[in-house]
Homo-oligomer: A and B are copies of this chain.
Amino acid sequence: MMTNACYAVIFISRLRADAEGYAETARRMMDLVREQPGFLGMESWRDETGRGVTISWWESEEAIARWRQHPRHRQAMRRGREEWYESFRVQICRVEREGCGS
């Protein structure tokens, strides 16, 4: 647990039934994100209907912005928008109370 402020990214999505290639890319992105400066932790859930959430924690908004600009992440996001997600939403949040990390 850190006591400093941190940021949480809430990513809520609904996968298409035919999201071919999604699982492999998701695994690769999980490995890649752990190497990013300012990354603090991540937790994910997905139910049997395809509705899922990933919460990731970051030291700063700058760290979040850098990850959004990472070429391999950008490519994965593009495939997500075009091929895998029926819908999604992203919220960037400042954690006001309690600790950060996972």
A residues bordering B, Cβ < 8 Å?
A: 7-8, 10, 12, 43, 45-47, 51-53, 55, 61, 89-100
Contacts and interface: CB of A to CB of B under 8 A. Distances in A.
Contacts of A98: 89-92
Given A12-B43, A55-B53, A95 B92 contact: yes
Number of copies: 2
B93 A96 contact: yes
Contacts of A46: 45
- A contact face: mostly helix, strand, loop, or mixed: strand
A96 B93 CA distance: 5
A99 B93 contact: no
Given A45-B47, A47-B45, A10 B55 contact: yes
Given A91-B95, A95-B93, A53 B45 contact: yes
Residue of A47, A51, A91 with most chain B CB atoms under a 10 A cut-off: A91
10 contacts: A7-B96, A8-B93, A12-B43, A45-B52, A89-B98, A91-B99, A92-B98, A93-B93, A94-B94, A94-B96
